[in-house]
Chains A and B, each alone.
Chain A
Amino acid sequence: EAQVTQNPRYLITVTGKKLTVTCSQNMNHEYMSWYRQDPGLGLRQIYYSMNVEVTDKGDVPEGYKVSRKEKRNFPLILESPSPNQTSLYFCASSSTQRGSYEQYFGPGTRLTVT
């Protein structure tokens, strides 16, 4: 089944404790992206990747890191989480080839930083 998976789905952590949220897709998509969703602010893009080893900042990259060493994986790293990073995070992927522009979303990771 074509899907985007994220782990963990729920995470409660403390300020300053490094964490990684994994994202994996099995559709051989070139493009992957991370969003955070906050009430009243919609989805804001954190980072995106057009292909392996190609990443770029979105609208709200501060406090986050990403890497894209393999096509299927796009982990989101919070080196020193802070309470303002408490949010719902979504990973998404899509093909960049002609006629295949739809983004597929993961189930979300709800992060609480205390």
Chain B
Amino acid sequence: AQSVSQHNHHVILSEAASLELGCNYSYGGTVNLFWYVQYPGQHLQLLLKYFSGDPLVKGIKGFEAEFIKSKFSFNLRKPSVQWSDTAEYFCAVNARYGGSQGNLIFGKGTKLSVKP
């Protein structure tokens, strides 16, 4: 069965620090990869996604993620975080079978707290 691991449960950074959140998945075939963000009291919003092509994906609000197929990883990065980035971040993966997709599996999430 597919699974998604997010290595950090809670990350605390100061403003302007660089961020990298780890995400690894277990599935040997073709996958779609996502990072979602959940701001306090809100629902999940898509931050960025990877389906194919350039493994370095740029999302909203200055976030980017790199797909490294050999490592089954899709780590999220931001060079300089802001207080407004305080949120919970979820990595998600689903398998692709031809033109259709399988079920979306989420990691347990990483809480990011940014100190002003």
Contacts and interface: CB of A to CB of B under 8 A. Distances in A.
Q: Do A and B bind each other?
A: yes
Interface of A: 31, 33, 35, 40-45, 48, 58, 90, 92, 94, 96-99, 101-103, 105-108
B104 A103 contact: yes
A71 B45 CA distance: 23
Contacts of B101: 31, 94, 96, 101
| Shortest Cβ-Cβ A-B pairs, 10 listed | A42-B108, A98-B99, A42-B109, A43-B106, A105-B44, A101-B32, A105-B43, A96-B100, A107-B43, A101-B101
Contacts of B43: 90, 105-108
Given A97-B100, A98-B99, A101-B51, A40 B32 contact: no
Given A42-B108, A107-B43, A48 B103 contact: yes
Given A43-B109, A105-B36, 18 more contacts: A33-B104, A41-B108, A42-B107, A42-B109, A43-B90, A45-B103, A45-B104, A45-B105, A48-B103, A90-B44, A96-B100, A97-B99, A98-B99, A99-B51, A101-B96, A102-B49, A105-B43, A108-B43
| Of listed B34, B49, B99, B104, residue having the most chain A CB within 10 A | B104
Interface in B43-58: 43-46, 49, 51
Interface residues of B, number: 25
B111 to A, nearest CB: 10
A104 to B, nearest CB: 8
23 contacts: A31-B101, A33-B103, A33-B104, A40-B9, A40-B108, A42-B90, A42-B107, A43-B90, A43-B106, A43-B109, A44-B106, A48-B103, A58-B103, A94-B104, A97-B99, A97-B100, A101-B32, A101-B51, A103-B104, A105-B36, A105-B43, A106-B43, A108-B43
